[in-house]
């Protein structure tokens, strides 16, 4: 299997920061990634990088 990692993508609709997992594969594929908070499309992709699980980035501004 290829390289695996994460990318941070900010939703243009609700401004939430999403952490998106990806894996690089030799065969191309396509799909969409949706925001974990509001469901808006974050990314439409086509190629050898396959995007998967999406989680919200923990709020780093929480001062409680």
Confidence class of residue 50 from pLDDT cuts 50, 70 and 90?
Answer: very high
Mean pLDDT of 8-14: 96
pLDDT, residue 59, reads 80
Q: Which residues contact 12 (CB under 8 A, 6 or more apart)?
A: 40
* Conformation bin of residue 47: beta by default, left when phi > 0, alpha when psi is -120 to 50: left
Q: What is the pTM of this model?
A: 0.82
Task: Quick: pLDDT tens for 13-42.
Answer: 999 999 999 999 999 999 999 999 999 999
Residue 1 has pLDDT above 70, yes or no: no
| Helix then strand then coil, % of the chain, to nearest 5 | 0, 65, 35
pLDDT, residue 64, reads 43
């Amino acid at each position: 299997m290829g390289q695996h990692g994460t990318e941070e993508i900010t939703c243009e609709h609700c401004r939430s920061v999403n952490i998106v997992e990806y894996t690089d594969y030799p065969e191309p594929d396509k799909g969409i990634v949706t925001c974990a908070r509001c469901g808006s499309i974050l990314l439409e992709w086509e190629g050898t990088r396959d995007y998967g699980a999406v989680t919200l980035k923990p709020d780093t501004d929480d001062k409680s």
